[in-house]
Amino acid sequence: MGCSCHDNDPLIPKVAVIKEMREDTHDVITFKIIDKDGNRPFDFLPGQCAMLSIPMIGEAIFSITSSPTEKEYIECSIKRCGKVTDYLHELEVGDEIGVRGPYGNNFPVEKIKQTDLLFIAGGIGLAPLRSVINYAMDNRSDYGLIDIVYGARTPNDLVHPKDIFEIWPKKLNTRVHLTVDIEHPDWSGAVGYVPTFVEALAFDINKTVLICGPPIMIKYTLQVLEEIGFKKEQIYTTLELKMKCGIGKCGRCNIGDKYVCKDGPVFRCDEITELPNEY
């Protein structure tokens, strides 16, 4: 009889299968992943991550972009930006990869119940927030008004277009605010950087804020939020792009006295003394 003692060990990769690939932008593909038996590879909470591996190529850690309320698979939205991601983008539906997890902590979905939620994302930063956004949508009575602020360089760089244009705006008590950095002939919406856009929207400060995006965007958006009157105790961010080994061994994810993989990747903003200059 075979040993099953490692079946639930997050350090042991499972054989997974790519069930579906959806091209969101020219350099971002969302992968729908199942295990070899056709089930979701593991349970997780919004904000946690998965390690994807390719034999003889390498492995990398990615946020899980699907909600835990989706029981049949996990999704990861992957931007082409290196050796592993280049290889993943060349795979096809039905191909096998390694998957292990979940890694890291999660957004405090229980603690923030019955509060109004303000999500702020830039570029691929919408991917980590999508899990908790959809979780809140699927447990709608547990949360108040939902505002989603999302910006990217151009309209063609906005990920999860079906969500932001078709699905989320139709949800109860939900508002989606979109902006792009530069004017574009096919864009009639707001133009401007996310921090400036947030300032112009002038939100009520009685909200829980969840933010993710490029470090420079997070830095200036936090400044704007504090100027408006938000406190750091109200604001959560995720720094999963800083994670490497996922288990606190390589030391490459430290920020001040914190290790992203052991203490995060989700942090309340008063818990971190500094933000990384780059990922």
Beta strands in 125-170 (DSSP E): 146-152
* CA–CA gap between residue 222 and residue 275 (Å, rounded): 11
Are 197 and 220 in contact, with CB atoms under 8 Å apart?
Answer: no
Residue 7 has pLDDT above 60, yes or no: no
Residue 254 has pLDDT above 60, yes or no: no
Residue 200: both structure tokens together:
């112009």
Are 172 and 192 in contact, with CB atoms under 8 Å apart?
Answer: no
CATH class assigned to 116-238? alpha beta
Q: What is the pLDDT of residue 238?
A: 86
Confidence of residue 256 (pLDDT cuts 50, 70, 90): low
Is domain 14-103 in CATH 1.10.10.10, yes or no? no
Q: Write out pLDDT tens, residues 128-170.
A: 999 999 999 999 999 999 999 999 999 999 999 999 999 999 9
Q: Write out pLDDT tens, residues 56-109.
A: 898 999 999 999 999 999 999 999 988 999 999 999 999 999 999 998 889 999
Radius of gyration of the chain (CA): 18
Q: What is the pLDDT of residue 4?
A: 44
Q: Where are the domains of the chain?
A: 14-103, 116-238
Q: What is the pLDDT of residue 5?
A: 44
Q: Write out pLDDT tens, residues 174-218.
A: 999 999 999 999 899 999 999 999 999 999 999 999 999 998 999
Q: Write out pLDDT tens, residues 207-246.
A: 999 999 998 999 999 999 999 999 999 999 987 555 454 5
